[in-house]
Structure 1
């Protein structure tokens, strides 16, 4: 192994007395090396001659020998250390604004690598080396570089701030703990640091959670904006469609108005043309007679004049035109009538469009309703999927539980509502009788009852194939343009609203308003009896699809 390779262990080149690199190293008879001055001073301070390391005692003053090989190795180590320091200094960067500079550097201040809490000095990599190599300095506490290290000293006692006073919540030195804060509770800075660090970790976690919540809120807001944009685009498209339809109605009404006026004008012109044609024909006849009369009046033939006089004396037969006239057609009220008709048309269209929009909104609250067999009257027949019910002539032998209807052929849905909104649709096609709506949980299921809100029912029904009523007590007769094939039922619990819709016609049938709900509401179905087969079709709960 070469001498150069042996120089990599720095501790072997440190004097155990001064803890620095050897200067003029000499060897004692026991084989230990020391700086020449260090060992001489040590011998001068002691009465005995002993080795500072192994404590071997010499009877006479030992003769010191210069270790030539070791001296060369120390010299080489010094040179390499200086080159390394020089190279390290060139690689290090000067401290930038905001960075802690080295307190030892002269000239250009290099960026500090560590700060020493004992020396109260910040060191660059080069000047930090003694703290990394000298055993005495190795015990010093190094931290990441900080400015104003003097702030870490007690201003009163000029001692390091090593303790934390929990009573006053401040950092103090050892003297403070026995003088100014002697009755207070203290902990080492490190212990308080760990506690506060844990609190900061918790605070950081809470902050991160708050950040995450706000990021989620941002996503929620952005999603709301996206939904709003989609709704805006949809509404714009609907608006264009609506106003295009209204514009078409206005244009058709205008064209009809113009056509009506022009038709009247054409009739007037035709009448005038007929009169003129007839008058011109009479004029032609009169001109012909005038020519004959004039010719006869100039005749010298006495006999000829007298023979033809009787036939030419009187004017040819003509019409009496005294009372005949062409009057302009009566246009008064034509425009007003057209505008009134247009207004009626637009009003109907607007009502239809508003009903469509309302139905679309309530359909968003659709729930998947299924029939509850535990509530079904024994004569009712339910489908396996719980979506259809019709009346059966045979009464089934079923357990009479408290939920079952035994007086009327009624069945309730399994789903209930005690807050919010819900909506469902039922096909009533080909039926001549039915009842639909909602009922509260506490209704009488065994005896006679009246279908009205007072007794917990909010329903409409069909009787005799074309008689519709809202059972509001007394019933309200409903006038429908056409029999609904599918009925939608909507409930807003907090608003106290129950509404019924003709789904295919997108029209409101009836609404119970101002209701006061205090308990659960259930979907209510009554297919009524078969009436000899003409009312055998079932009530069918349908999946809800958005009305176009």
Structure 2
């Protein structure tokens, strides 16, 4: 007989008097079965012979014979139950942290249920009476727990089955009568559901807070990463600047020393030349003095008189009284060198400031695409609407209000009416172009006057290398190099439009004090084709932070 069948038929083999498996089972005429010794003792202790179950009265004590079939079945059941118990006794013991059965002898098995009535925990084997015995089936079973005493009222020794909402505590059924009069009570199950709902809400709130915290942590990590990257760029910039300054100081120092040494060499050469000249005169003077002395010692009257006139007339000599070695002044040389260094450092600082400023405004980069509905019929746009150049053939396009009809101009699709925006345009290889921003309401028909008064803030290139800012009159710009990529920055509220040489990280020109009251659009004039000499496209390029 299998374990499952034993459990399913166990009630059929229990004596309702001793609640144990039948021993020598007998059957009464009313259809109930008992152990022979149990029913005999029961009737011996009572005056009347009454069935313990249905209360049927036997007026004469019936003669009881053992039910052989039931006895055999009970024996088989008992043997099967013993085998099952033996098998279960071989099961592994309860692991650390698991609740142990209170009735296992020897190896303690894992308890699967706890009884609040018995204040004990049971493994699967020792739990069976609570599942089958009539007097035990009314006991309250719960999932196995430790410290069952904590689930009992310490004062009344009864299970905690109610929740006192007034005192916010668990109580037994006697507490409301004696200790919690006029309090509000609900069953534990009801309060459990309420508290469970609150816990679920609390979990949801905590999950939300956890997500916000994770986002904040991620934000801080990203901020720290950006800070590290910014610090790295600043360190690189600083190293580059200070290395350049060191080189400049060394170069200026070398030039200073070279100049001083050259001055000193010139002075020394002048002195040497004068000394040589003086030494040459000295040699002549000594020879003449020797000749005079020799003539002075002559006793030949005629020779002395004949030689006197030639020797007495002195050869022409240089007047050395006013001759001085020119002492070159070195005063102010260090000051001059320092002034040159200061000027150089000032230029480097300005370059660095412009580079930092360009990097700052590049964070306001926007995606700009060209609007073919505004393009002059000579203009040819790329499929991605990022490039434009002027062709030689005028396309047949509808002359709608948005389209320029005389000037080869195209506007961007994107317009801006607040805040800051920045975009970059590649103009490499071109001999003529205009870049600007314009009011959405600006004139588009006929000849366009590209001046702030008409709503056009323009930087232009003419004749290969003539850069101008379009004001009245135009302002010519002297640039160290020809820009190949131009950055355009607009601060709507500040009324500022600035143009930058992206590769040189240098400011080209700024329109300041502008008054913007309408939407602004990026504007592009790639210039006439000029028989292919200006056929390179103007390209709206992706913004990458300048190094």
Q: TM-score range by the shorter chain?
A: 0.7 to 0.9
* 1:508-534 residue CA offsets vs partner (Å, 9 max, x unmatched): 12223455555532111235667x869
Give 1:355 shift: 2.7
Please say if residues 379 and 390 of structure 2, whose CA atoms lie closer than 8 Å, have aligned partners that are also in contact.
yes
Give matches, 1:450-461, under 5 Å: 451-453=450-452, 455-461=454-460
Give 1:247 shift: 1.1
* 1:89-117 residue CA offsets vs partner (Å, 9 max, x unmatched): x9457x98xx98888899x9999764323
- Structure 1 CA distance, aligned partners of 2:221 and 2:75? 76
* 1:442-497 residue CA offsets vs partner (Å, 9 max, x unmatched): 3344578764555543333456777655446x556243235545432223445543
| Residue 247 (structure 1) aligns with | 246
| Residue 345 (structure 2) aligns with | 346
- Name the CA shift for 1:486/1:225 in 2 (closer, same or farther; >3 Å): closer
- Structure 2 CA distance, aligned partners of 1:351 and 1:125? 86
| Residue 214 (structure 2) aligns with | 215
**TM-score of the superposition, structure 2-length normalised?**
0.76
- Name the CA shift for 1:181/1:20 in 2 (closer, same or farther; >3 Å): farther
| Residue 438 (structure 1) aligns with | 437
- Name the CA shift for 1:512/1:522 in 2 (closer, same or farther; >3 Å): same
* 1:345-393 residue CA offsets vs partner (Å, 9 max, x unmatched): 2222332333334334444554453321212344x32234342142768
Q: What secondary structure is seen at the aligned counterpart in 1 of 2:61?
A: coil
* 1:381-438 residue CA offsets vs partner (Å, 9 max, x unmatched): 22343421427685x5533333223465532112333455231214275445x43211
Q: What secondary structure is seen at the aligned counterpart in 2 of 1:416?
A: coil
Q: Which moved more, 1:234-243 or 1:300-309?
A: 300-309
* 1:328-351 residue CA offsets vs partner (Å, 9 max, x unmatched): 211122222222222222222332
| Residue 423 (structure 1) aligns with | 423
Please say if residues 88 and 125 of structure 2, whose CA atoms lie closer than 8 Å, have aligned partners that are also in contact.
yes
| Residue 26 (structure 2) aligns with | 28
- Structure 2 CA distance, aligned partners of 1:503 and 1:29? 109
Give 1:259 shift: 1.0
Give 1:264 shift: 0.8
Please say if residues 366 and 421 of structure 2, whose CA atoms lie closer than 8 Å, have aligned partners that are also in contact.
no
Please say if residues 423 and 543 of structure 2, whose CA atoms lie closer than 8 Å, have aligned partners that are also in contact.
no
**TM-score of the superposition, structure 1-length normalised?**
0.76
Matched, 1:356 2:388: no
Q: What secondary structure is seen at the aligned counterpart in 1 of 2:320?
A: coil
Matched, 1:118 2:117: yes
- Structure 1 CA distance, aligned partners of 2:7 and 2:406? 110
| Residue 236 (structure 2) aligns with | 237
Give matches, 1:262-341, under 5 Å: 262-313=261-312, 317-341=316-340
| Residue 477 (structure 1) aligns with | 475
| Residue 373 (structure 2) aligns with | 374
Please say if residues 28 and 62 of structure 1, whose CA atoms lie closer than 8 Å, have aligned partners that are also in contact.
no
Q: What secondary structure is seen at the aligned counterpart in 2 of 1:243?
A: helix
Please say if residues 362 and 490 of structure 1, whose CA atoms lie closer than 8 Å, have aligned partners that are also in contact.
yes
What do you get for the CA RMSD once the two structures are aligned? 5.0
* 1:41-77 residue CA offsets vs partner (Å, 9 max, x unmatched): 3663472354759979694253577999999999989
Please say if residues 458 and 512 of structure 1, whose CA atoms lie closer than 8 Å, have aligned partners that are also in contact.
yes
Matched, 1:543 2:541: yes
Q: Which moved more, 1:537-546 or 1:497-506?
A: 537-546
Please say if residues 526 and 538 of structure 2, whose CA atoms lie closer than 8 Å, have aligned partners that are also in contact.
no
Please say if residues 429 and 484 of structure 1, whose CA atoms lie closer than 8 Å, have aligned partners that are also in contact.
no
Give 1:145 shift: 0.9
- Structure 1 CA distance, aligned partners of 2:393 and 2:82? 117
- Structure 2 CA distance, aligned partners of 1:533 and 1:452? 28
- Count of aligned pairs: 533
- Structure 2 CA distance, aligned partners of 1:445 and 1:75? 107
- Structure 2 CA distance, aligned partners of 1:504 and 1:81? 88
| Residue 388 (structure 1) aligns with | 388
Matched, 1:226 2:222: no
- Structure 2 CA distance, aligned partners of 1:82 and 1:514? 97
- Structure 1 CA distance, aligned partners of 2:115 and 2:473? 95
- Structure 1 CA distance, aligned partners of 2:82 and 2:388? 101
| Residue 41 (structure 1) aligns with | 42
- Name the CA shift for 1:436/1:7 in 2 (closer, same or farther; >3 Å): closer
Q: What secondary structure is seen at the aligned counterpart in 2 of 1:137?
A: coil
- Name the CA shift for 1:35/1:269 in 2 (closer, same or farther; >3 Å): farther
Please say if residues 461 and 469 of structure 1, whose CA atoms lie closer than 8 Å, have aligned partners that are also in contact.
yes
Give matches, 1:90-169, under 5 Å: 91=93, 114-121=113-120, 130-131=129-130, 134=133, 136-139=135-138, 140-147=140-147, 149=149, 153=153, 160-162=159-161
- Name the CA shift for 1:426/1:304 in 2 (closer, same or farther; >3 Å): same
Please say if residues 369 and 541 of structure 1, whose CA atoms lie closer than 8 Å, have aligned partners that are also in contact.
no
- Name the CA shift for 1:356/1:499 in 2 (closer, same or farther; >3 Å): same
Q: Which moved more, 1:212-221 or 1:435-444?
A: 212-221
- Structure 2 CA distance, aligned partners of 1:460 and 1:81? 98
Give matches, 1:402-417, under 5 Å: 402-406=401-405, 408-417=407-416
Please say if residues 461 and 467 of structure 2, whose CA atoms lie closer than 8 Å, have aligned partners that are also in contact.
yes
Give 1:282 shift: 2.0
Structure 2 gap segments, 5+ residues each: none
- Name the CA shift for 1:507/1:301 in 2 (closer, same or farther; >3 Å): same
- Structure 2 CA distance, aligned partners of 1:129 and 1:326? 130
Please say if residues 498 and 510 of structure 2, whose CA atoms lie closer than 8 Å, have aligned partners that are also in contact.
yes
* 1:306-346 residue CA offsets vs partner (Å, 9 max, x unmatched): 44444444555432221122242111222222222222222
